[in-house]
Each structure stands twice: as C-alpha cells, then as structure tokens.
Amino acid sequence: DKSFFERIDPKKGDLPDGRPRSEEDRVEEEKTSAGKDKGSPENSAKAEGKPAAPVEPARREEEDPERSLEQEPPASQESFSDRPDIDQMTEVVVRLASKNPFSTKQALLASQPIRSQDFGTPCRIQVKNQFTKLWGPIQRGCTYTDMIVTLQLATRERALDELSAGNFVAAVNAAVTTLDADADVVDVPSVVAQAKSVKALIDRYGIRLSVGVKGASRVTEQTALQLAGQCGFEVNGSRIEKRDADCSAPWLRMLPNPADPNMVVLELMPALCAPAQNPLGALFGSANDIAARLNGDITDSSGVPLGPGEVVEITRQMKCFYAAMARQELDAGTRRVKRLFA
C-alpha cells in the first residue's frame, strides 16, 4: 500500500477531498506557485539581472559524546578510590591498559558498544584518571590511562549464559581496538561455569522469612498505609518496605495476605542484613508494633500463632544460616551480597 501522497499527484489527479480537478483549479495553483517563486531570493535576483547568492547547505551539528554525561547525576566522592571496585568471585573482570592516555571522548566512544547492550546482568565501567590516579566513572574533561569493565555473573533472576558472555566479549574487544589497548583474555566456557555456581549460591541463600500479624478486623489499604507511617516503613507506589540506601532491594516488606483479609505479612530478606544489625529483632519489633495497633497476634505466614519456643528456634536457625553464608564468603549485608541478592 502506498501513502496518500504517493497515490495522488496534486498537479494531475483529483484534489485531496476527492473532487475532480478543474481548469480553474489549475490556473489558481499556477498563480499561487508563481507568486511563491517571485518571493524567493533566487528568483528576485534573476528578475533584476543579478546573479543569485549561493545557498549554503545546512550544517549538521557534530554529535558530542560527552553530552550523554550531562543526563547522568554527578558522581559522589565515594565513587572514586585508589583501587578499582571489582569482585573476582561474582564478576567477569576485564582490564584494558591503553598504550597511550585517552580522553573522555575516547572513553565514551570505546565503551559505547558495551553501554548500548543489555547482557542480562549489571555491567559497570571504571576508568583510572591519569593525574589523580583515582578509579571511578567516566567524567567530563578528563584523561585516563586504564579502563576496567565488569559484568556480574548472576542475579536472582538469571545466570550469565554463553550467548550473553559471547556478546560481552565481542563488545569488550571493540573497546580494546578503539583504545589500542592490551586486555585480559576472557574464556567464555569458564565464565558460564562460574556463573552457574554463583547462581546456585543465590538460590540457596536467597530465602525469605515471613511472619504474620492477624487482627480482629479487615486490614484495608488505608489501614496498611497508616501502619506504614506509624511503624517506620516507606511507601513506594504500591509497595510498603524498608531498605538501605546502598541497596535497590528492600530487606523488610509488609504484604497483604490474600487468604485472610484480617492479616498482614512481614517478609524479611536475611541475606541483605548483617547479623550485627539484629534483623530478627527488627522483624519481631515491627510485628509487635503492628499487633498492638491491630489488637492482634503474631503468627506464622499461614496464621498459626507463634509462641516463645518457635521464636527461639527461628533465632537458632538464623545463626546457622549466617554461619553457612560466611563459609561461602558471602557475609550477609556486605556490598557483594547486596549486589547479588538485590
């Protein structure tokens, strides 16, 4: 199918409203066209016998790669360090050592094939400033000597597969060529095997501990919002939760119980909380607070009341859980764990 403008020639066929074009229409169009031509600088010059002024072609503004940095929030001082922020256990780490210092523009051009792709897991780019010797994100007006690209091996949703790892290697190789740099060699099969191991750890320790609070009456949305404000929860859209500033995932959530409208459920993510923060104390403290306001009881997630014996057993199991995580070099509440379990 052709467009309307391809189907109809205004000088030969019907008018846009479907009416046949008459001789009067053609004469009127010719007068209008002639008037427009006379008004143009080129035709005015011809009428006066003067050469027409040359028309300069429109200049295409050259795209500045550094403009992309204007849309990003400024990096905090904590973003810069004398050591790169890398984790060999949970990330693919590739260091690009350039033979010559490179500018911000060159860094952006080199990293564009990496930044423009979604590999399925978080990818980070860090550069080393030539003069301050600090590692951090790419900034305007700087000169760098090295670049490090990291790709997380797994998340709660997926592990890095062979296709994504291959695409990552190809993007990094393009950056190596742009910077004329030396880089580490990435073995895709080894990366995929390591990703599966990390995903298994996430699945094993990504448990959630839930307790319920059952009141005497229905917990409406308005009641839940009031409880959130009274008990120190944040309301983010339809979510009621508590989270740390350095983690995108909440460590404690308040949820409805579809099977019992008189009940709310508190869900704790133990891996995101360091044992020193006493996460069980925070969980049962919130539960006690809500129970007092609802004139209700603390229960398990199915509605069975919890007694002192059950709480002691939960505490014992939590200590064993944290010890098992530490043996795997996954200390709860650390930056490594927050990245993996977020």
Pairing between strand 209-214 and 181-183? unpaired
Quote the pLDDT of residue 49. 53
Over residues 228-248, the pLDDT tens digits come to: 999 999 999 889 999 999 898
Task: Flag whether pLDDT at 61 surpasses 80.
Answer: no
User: Please, are residues 288 and 306 in contact by the beta-carbon 8 Å criterion?
Assistant: no
The pTM assigned to this predicted structure is 0.74
3 state DSSP class of 15: coil
| Whole-angstrom distance, CA of residue 287 vs CA of residue 330 | 28
Strand partners, 159: 154
Over residues 23-57, the pLDDT tens digits come to: 555 555 555 555 544 454 444 444 455 555 555 55
Quote the pLDDT of residue 97. 96
| Whole-angstrom distance, CA of residue 324 vs CA of residue 307 | 26
Q: φ and ψ at 313, to 5 degrees?
A: -65, -40
Over residues 87-129, the pLDDT tens digits come to: 999 999 999 999 999 999 999 999 999 999 999 999 999 999 9
| Whole-angstrom distance, CA of residue 301 vs CA of residue 265 | 7
Q: φ and ψ at 181, to 5 degrees?
A: -115, 165
